[in-house]
Amino acid sequence: MIDIIRFREFLFEIQERVNERVPGAIAECELAVKEEHMTKKLKDKEGVILCANYPDSETDIENSDSSEDSNLVFLFVVEKVPAGKFTSEEELVHYATLQRIMKEVKKELTNESLMCGKMNPGEKLRTEWEYAVFGGFNGLSVGLTIKDYD
């Protein structure tokens, strides 16, 4: 199971690297146990936020000699947008901006130097659009499995 303190540091490293290429892209990071927990944490937040769940872990007990866990993680790049604030065109441009930020986040997820050899992403990254999550945030999410080794 991924150490959650290290995982939070991993998120901060992603934020820092993305912001080096796109200044001010991600305002902050939040980590929460469940959706309701994240909703409470984001309640009054502004700007683009990189969010993640506490990683859920799966260990293959058939191969008990292995020290590898698979951790299911969802990362979100979201921003709160009040209903009716944007025209259709402005909404499209806003989503395009968040899409570019997510593209940078995904680059970091596959950056071997960031993984430090202890956590490695699985083979697939599934990206989805998000609307009105966590109490009114829009953006994108990416689901992945991170393998960690003790």
Residue 83, domain CATH: 3.30.70
Q: What is the extent of the structural domain holding 37?
A: 4-149
Q: What is the pTM of this model?
A: 0.86
Which pLDDT does position 136 carry in this prediction? 92
Please say whether the beta carbons of 140 and 77 come within 8 A. Answer: yes
92's enclosing H/E stretch is helix 88-109
Using CA atoms, how far apart are residues 41 and 80, in angstroms rounded to an integer?
A: 13
Domain count for the chain, please give it: 1
Whole-number Å distance between alpha carbons of 13 and 139? 20
Residue partners of 58: CB distance under 8 A and separation at least 6 = 69, 70, 71, 72
DSSP state letters, 30-50: EEESSHHHHHHHHTT--S-EE
Q: What integer pLDDT is reported at residue 66 of this predicted model?
A: 58
Strand partners, 77: 50, 140
Torsional sign, CA 32, 141, 43, 14: positive
Instruction: Check if the beta carbon of residue 68 is closer than 8 Å to that of residue 60.
Output: yes
CB atoms within 10 A of CB 33: 10
Residue holding tokens 């698979």? 70
In the predicted model, what is the mean pLDDT of the chain? 86
* pLDDT one-digit tens code per residue, 16-41: 999 999 999 999 999 999 999 999 99
Q: Mean pLDDT throughout 46-52?
A: 97
